[in-house]
Each structure stands twice: as structure tokens, then as C-alpha cells.
Amino acid sequence: MFSLRKLGAFGRTYRHLQRYNRILQVLLKYGFSDLIHRLHIDEYLESGWQRLKGSQPEEPLARISRPERLRLAFQELGPTFIKLGQLLSSRPDLLPPAYLEELSRLQDKIPPVAWEEIDAVFRREFGAPAEDIFPGFEHEAMAAASIGQVHRARLEGGQEVVIKVRRPGISQLISVDLEIFGHIASLMEQYLEEVRGHSPSAVVEEFAASLHRELDFSIELTNIQRFALNFQDNRTIHVPVVYPEFCSSRVLVMAYIAGFKPSDIPRLQ
């Protein structure tokens, strides 16, 4: 473990210090000690840095390209980094083509949260267990991503629905990561002349605003309702019915619709 000193306002809490340690360890593991050195983060580290500052990526990581190692590092560091990588993959003004291509492969499919944690969300939001509100609530998630996971269930009237639930603790993790991103962005502007014109701090601010909107499922609910209203007379577009009475900033409920991915060409044809 590294020991960090004077990292600004966010560095005064243990959760930031612990997370920053983790980020640096992963970057070192994937061979980015040169970047850490250029950003002068070593000035905030105790003597343990001296032993690792020249470290090379672990085998077999040394045999793969730097863009791929960046993708793997982001993937290992979790939701906030995966989302950042996805954003950066659409910014040819910031990164070379090899990085854009590699980061575009980032997927935010991760193991689902245990049922007990999901049920606790419903107890906090609605004051009752999930199965008291939704008969036939399936404990096993249909899908799990970085922000939330989806379960199938039924309403009292028998309608089949899908329920998107925000991951417990994800908001706190993202808040810590965003503060760390802000610190790193300020170091980039101070020490990396080649990126100053792109204003890394502004990129982080834009990313933070987007991510905070994504965390609030009530915004997604409003967007679905607005979209349905705008296309209510268009028979070629079907918008799932939403159930606002069962929704909150952490829970989104809509009608279940069977379908397939547009990339499934045989079924599409």
C-alpha cells in the first residue's frame, strides 16, 4: 500500500486515500509508472514509490499494446473508469485512433449485486420488501451493468415488467472517483503541455454532469415519458409503458418487451 500526503481537500478522508491508492496500484500494474511520474504524483507518495516508480507491466501484460493495457486498467478499476473510457472512445480530438478503438471495446457488464442488497433498496425506497410490491420478483438478474441491474417481475394486475435498480453504494464510489479525476485533471493541466489546450478539467466537469444524470433514474423516467408523448401518433415506434408510482431515483419500472439486439443480423433479417 502507498501512503498519500496532502492531496488537497479530498485527501483528508480515508475513503479518498484508500481509493487513490488502489488507482495508483492498478496503473503501476499495467505499466503506467511514466505517466504517474510525469504528473508528479510521486511527490505525494512515501518511500514505497521509489521501489515501484520504474516498474514494468506484469507478464504477460508487457506483450500487449499500451492502448490495450489502458483498457484493461479501466476495466479493473470499475464503473467510473469504464464510463470515462466509453466517453473518451468518442473523442478523436483527445486520443489517437488506436486508443479510441481499444476503449470502444469497454463493456460495463459486471457481476450482479446479491439479492439481499437489492431487496434492501426497496425497503429503503418504499418501506416494504420487493416481493410485497411486485409478485413473482425474480431474484436472479436479467442483466447487470456498472450503474444498475435489471430484474423481471409482475405487477398485481399480472403485467410483466422489468425493474432497473441502482447498485447500492455506487453513487458514493462515483463521487470519490470524480473528485480524484478532478485532481488528476488539474495535474495534467499543470504538467502535460500537450493536453492543456483540451482543458482536462472541463472534460471531467462534463463527464461528472453526465454521470450524475445517469445515476438519477427519475430523469430517465421523464425522458421515456417525453419520448412516448412526442411519438404517440407514430405506429412504427413502440415505447415501453412506465409505472411512475413504482419509480424513484433508484428504481425504474417499465413493461417487459421481448426482443433482440440490432447486431443479431439473422434475426433482424
pLDDT digits (tens), the chain, 269 positions: 444 444 555 455 556 888 888 898 899 899 998 999 899 886 665 544 444 555 556 667 778 999 999 999 999 999 999 999 999 999 998 899 999 999 999 877 788 999 999 999 999 999 999 999 998 899 999 999 889 999 999 999 999 999 999 999 999 999 999 999 999 999 999 999 988 888 999 999 999 999 999 999 999 999 999 999 999 999 999 999 999 999 999 999 999 998 888 878 898 88
Residue 61 contacts residue 72 (beta carbons within 8 Å): yes
- Measured CA to CA, the distance from residue 207 to residue 127 in angstroms comes to 33
Using left for φ > 0, alpha for ψ between -120 and 50, and beta otherwise, residue 264 falls in: beta
Per the structure block, which three cell numbers stand in for 237? 415506434
- Measured CA to CA, the distance from residue 252 to residue 220 in angstroms comes to 8
- Three-state SS for 153? strand
Question: Alpha helix locations (H) across 129-268?
Answer: 130-133, 170-191, 200-215, 217-230, 265-268
- Residue 41: name the closest of 170, 156, 183 by CA: 183
pTM: 0.81
- Measured CA to CA, the distance from residue 159 to residue 156 in angstroms comes to 7
- Three-state SS for 161? strand
- Residue 163: name the closest of 242, 227, 218 by CA: 242
